Amino acid sequence: MNRIETVREYIDAVLLNIPSAAKRRSGYLHLYGVSQACALIAMKRNENIELATIAGMLHDIYYYSTLDANDHAQKGAIMAREILTSLQCFTGDEINMICTAIYHHSNKGDRFSPFDEVLIDADVMQHCLYNPLFDVAEHEKQRYEKLQLEFGLA
């Protein structure tokens, strides 16, 4: 089995344990939506598509495991490191790359490595495209406008 599918099995097991159908639905839509947006953005920017896809699946794993949003990015990076290490199919450098992106993904106003930026922008893209009739959150407007230009949508 490839590594994306290995992580997907882990994510599915976490999501299936969420008692609330609405939260479970939200988890599937958000984690897999961000994962697909990561793949698209990574492809466009010549970043590692496989690792970006995995970072997208894991970026909110702490929140969906605990339903606790406090410091979810930082706690999620720790949890993702534990998950990836336990799967025994990632190098230390790959784990660091994924977990650093997860750690930074909530900092929409800052700039990070090109790989970290893929996850941050994918998170914004999924939030904004979940329902394009909703207003874009103020803290995501600048990034979303840049994404629209990058993808020729503006």
Q: What's the token pair of residue 41?
A: 């953005």
pLDDT tens digits in sequence order for the chain, 154 residues long: 699 999 999 999 999 999 999 999 999 999 999 999 999 999 999 999 999 999 999 999 999 999 999 999 999 999 999 999 999 999 999 999 999 999 999 999 889 999 999 999 999 999 999 999 999 999 999 999 999 999 999 7
pLDDT of residue 109: 84
Which domains are delineated in the chain? 3-150 (1.10.3210.10)
The amino acid at 71: D
**Predicted local distance difference test score (pLDDT) of residue 1:** 67
**Distance between CA 83 and CA 48 in Å, rounded?**
20
Closest CA to 41 of 154, 107, 110, 124: 124
